[in-house]
Amino acid sequence: MNNCEQPSHLVSILSDLIEGKILISTDIRASNANQYFCIIKKWGINLIEVKKQNLTNRAYHLERKLDLAFDNLEKAKVHLKRLQNNK
């Protein structure tokens, strides 16, 4: 993990995803929040991403939630525990 990757942001995001929450990048109080979803996907954790139109303009955003398949959920929990132990 390099210096620009904040473990606290990853812990928060993974915790929310494991709880079944749907997240968009504006839910995360971090610059370039999309990088954290990319990191999670690099770890082999599957996210379900749905393209939604913004309410205020013609642009789109991605709503993301964790694929709750057993193996995927376990992989997310392992990474969350690893991050929590490194704090």
* Predicted confidence (pLDDT) per residue in 15-44, tens digit: 999 999 999 877 776 667 788 999 999 999
Residue 71, CA distances (Å) to 6, 34, 66, 67, 74 in order: 25, 24, 12, 10, 5
Amino acid at 11: V
Q: How many other C-beta atoms are found inside a 10 Å radius of the C-beta of residue 79?
A: 19
Amino acid at 28: I
CA distance 4 to 16: 21
pTM: 0.80
Q: Could you report the per-residue pLDDT of 45-67, keeping only the tens digit for each? A: 999 999 999 889 999 989 999 99
Looking at residue 4, what is its pLDDT? 46
Looking at residue 2, what is its pLDDT? 46
CA distance 69 to 17: 13
Q: Which domains does the chain have, with CATH numbers?
A: 7-85 (1.10.10.10)
Looking at residue 74, what is its pLDDT? 97
